[in-house]
Amino acid sequence: MTKTENPRQQVYQELLSAYLTSGGGEKALTVAYEIGRKDLQNGIGLLEIAETHQQALNETLSMANDCVATQSAMNRAASHFLKEALSAFEVSRLCNRQTNDVLIKLYDVFENEAKRIAHRLHDESAQMLAVVYLELAEIANSSPGDTAKRIGDVVGHLDQVSSQLRSLSHELRPIILDRLGLMPALRALADGVRKRSQLLIEVTGDTEGRLSASLEIVLYRAVQEALANVCRHARASHVDVHVWREANSLYCAVSDDGIGIQLSTDGTTISQGLGLIGITERARALGGICDVSSRPNFGTTLQVTVPL
Ligand SMILES: Nc1ncnc2c1ncn2[C@@H]1O[C@H](COP(=O)(O)OP(=O)(O)OP(=O)(O)O)[C@@H](O)[C@H]1O
Ligand SMILES: [Mg+2]
């Protein structure tokens, strides 16, 4: 047998060769499974395993001309061996899928709860405020001028409370998102942030039709977090939110002209925050990715890409 310089390749080749030339056996398949499990643990990728297997098979076949087993029997056995070596990867893939499913369900629970609180905040507080408005109007009608004026001031404050509650409930669960879709909801979100922060925010692009409810909420939350980050960290004056469809994916980018993400001396981000992690996890659960790029004093761009 040709010696290879790679000990992992050599072990694989010896085991495969023994399995193919000696007619197989359960024990050898268990060893194949163990090889795959260790490779998975050590971060070896599927492509590398495929290459290792192919090299080992070529080597074994080239030296097995006088072997009793036919080439096609050897090829069949080799594919059994490979399946065993890959089965740890398959288990891990299935676990990943289950984790994703659980994550998606958790996010659903969270969103439904946000919806419930938003509706209560919106509807119940509006009813209570309506009663207070009526009572104040009655008191004002039967009060002398000075008191009536002070009640007018209180009504002015109540108007502010009422509009704050409305905008809070919309942010918690934007009703407009369910009713009209992502772009109108992003414009409404940008309006709210613009009023509070004085940032210049432009929302452009098009989803070219409605998206699934889970995609819409994930993209909405991503932009919501990105805008919150711009307000808190970027010291920016201008933000672009752009949404577009390309091939079978939907892209959503939020770019600001701020100071960029500050890094510590060892090049890592300083924050222990959860916002960007949350966006990344939610995008990943839908098979997408979240990419953040930043340059000191040249702003930050957060881009989420999700498959349609
Ligand atoms: N647009 C931005 N401009 C400058 N720095 C940013 C920007 N977005 C994020 N960062 C930096 O990246 C860090 C991580 O952001 P992330 O949203 O994960 O956490 P956070 O905002 O600090 O906390 P949390 O979102 O959990 O309330 C921030 O602390 C900040 O330093
Ligand atoms: Mg944040």
* CB-neighbour burial class of residue 156 (10 A; exposed 0-12, middle 13-18, buried 19+): exposed
Among 22-36, 79-93, 141-155, 237-251, name the one with the lowest average pLDDT. Answer: 22-36
Nearest to 279 by CA among 291, 269, 271, 261: 291
Asked if the model's pLDDT at residue 2 lies above 60, the reply is no
The full length of the chain comes to 308
Residue 144: CB partners within 8 Å, gap ≥ 6? none
Q: Say how far apart CA 259 and CA 269 lie, in whole Å.
A: 14
Q: State the average pLDDT over residues 282-306.
A: 93
Atom 28 in ligand 1: residue holding the nearest Cα: 271
The amino acid at residue 166 is R
Q: Is 227 in the pocket of ligand 1 (CB under 6 A)?
A: no
Closest ligand 1 atom to residue 229 Cα is: 8
pLDDT band at 130 (very low <50, low <70, confident <90, very high): very high
Q: What is the mean pLDDT of the chain?
A: 88
Of 61-75, 176-190, 254-268, the least confident: 61-75
pTM above 0.75, yes or no: no
From CA 59, how far away is CA 149, in angstroms rounded? 96
Ligand 2 midpoint to CA 189 (Å) = 16
Confidence of residue 64 (pLDDT cuts 50, 70, 90): confident
Q: Which residues surround ligand 2, an ion (CB under 5 A)?
A: 229, 273, 275
Instruction: Taking each helix axis as running N to C, give the angle between helix 213-229 and helix 275-285, from 0 to 180 degrees, rounded to the nearest 10.
Output: 160
- In this structure, of 83-87, 113-117, 205-209, 258-262, the range with the lowest mean pLDDT score is 113-117
Pick from 129, 54, 101: nearest CA to 214: 101
What's the CA gap between 40 and 241, in Å, rounded?
39
pLDDT tier at 220, thresholds 50, 70, 90: very high
